[in-house]
Amino acid sequence: MCETDFSGYPDCRDDFVKSLNQAINLGIDRHRPINFITPLMWLNKAEIWALADSYQKLELIRSSTLTCCKGNIGDGCKQCAACHLRSQGLIYYQANKQQVMENLQKKINLL
Cα–Cα dist 79/92, whole Å? 18
Distances (CA, A) of 32 to 21, 27, 28, 35, 44: 12, 13, 10, 9, 31
pLDDT band, residue 7 (cuts 50/70/90): low
- Alpha-carbon 76 to chain mean position: 15
The pTM for the full model equals 0.81
Domain ranges of the chain: 1-41, 43-111
CA atoms within 13 A on the CB side of 67: 27
Q: What is the mean pLDDT of residues 13-39?
A: 87
Question: What is the CB neighbour count within 10 angstroms for residue 67?
Answer: 21
Q: What is the mean pLDDT of the chain?
A: 89
* 33 pLDDT higher than 90: no
Give the three-class secondary structure for 4: helix
- Which residues neighbour 95 within 8 Å (Cβ) at sequence distance 6 or greater? none
Q: Is the pLDDT of residue 69 over 80?
A: yes
Report the alpha-carbon distance of residue 68 to residue 8 in Å, rounded: 13
